[in-house]
Amino acid sequence: MSVNPMAYEAQFFGFTPQTCMLRVYIAFQDYLFEMLLVVESVILKKLEGIPGCKISPSQIRKSTEKFLLFMKKHFDKLFSKMEEVLLQLVLNIPENVLLPEDKVHEQYPYTKEQFQALQDEIQQLQQQYRAEASAGQALRAELEEQDAVRAELEKILQWFDGLDNICREHGTSNFKESFAFLTQNSKKLQDVLKDVEKKSNKLKKHDQLL
């Protein structure tokens, strides 16, 4: 069998020419085996009708096998010549022939160096795209964080607005005065809380004594 890969022929036919020749070879070989088995069975039937015949079936089988080897040897020689002719003249695409799907290569020819440069450029563009996509993702995350901070600032401003309204209701319009007012009230609340805790502890002790 030929060792030439014949890739261009495989592209056109959909199979390699070597595979085709191998299948033809196997088909011929199978047909030869079947034919000799039929001939052997016919000979055996003919011998059964001959009285006093001393030829045994095993002798017939040995003769069949010898004849098979003889035929196979000659068949391999003939098939080798037939394969060479078919691969060169029938299953071969000439070098000056271009398949329809490859016409674009004729219109836009590229050398190996040009093709490699194009591949390098494509790889560089892919890397740039990945970098820009990563930067865009980071920017979106930063914008989301800014939105969250803005929302918190709006809450704080609303809290200050509410605080300012409360202070105005109590007659304090200046921020320092408002802060002092809140601090004073906070201390008062802490004192009240401590007083409540003391009274609660006294009641607990009293209950324990009872």
What does DSSP assign to residue 52? T
Contact assessment for residue 92 and residue 7, using Cβ atoms and an 8 Å cutoff: no
Tell me, what's the pLDDT at 117? 87
Mean pLDDT for the chain? 79
Nearest to 170 by CA among 161, 182, 187: 182
Residue 83's φ and ψ, nearest 5 degrees, are: -60, -45
pTM over 0.75: no
Q: Which of 24-38, 65-79, 108-122, 178-192 has the lowest mean pLDDT?
A: 178-192
The mean pLDDT of 52-57, rounded to a whole number, is: 78
Is it the case that residue 25 has pLDDT exceeding 90? yes
pLDDT of residue 88: 86
**Cα R_g (the chain), whole angstroms:** 50
Residue 8's nearest CA partner among 105, 95, 108, 89 is 95
Of 3-12, 52-61, 157-166, which range is least confident?
Answer: 157-166
- Residue 45 in tokens: 């039937």
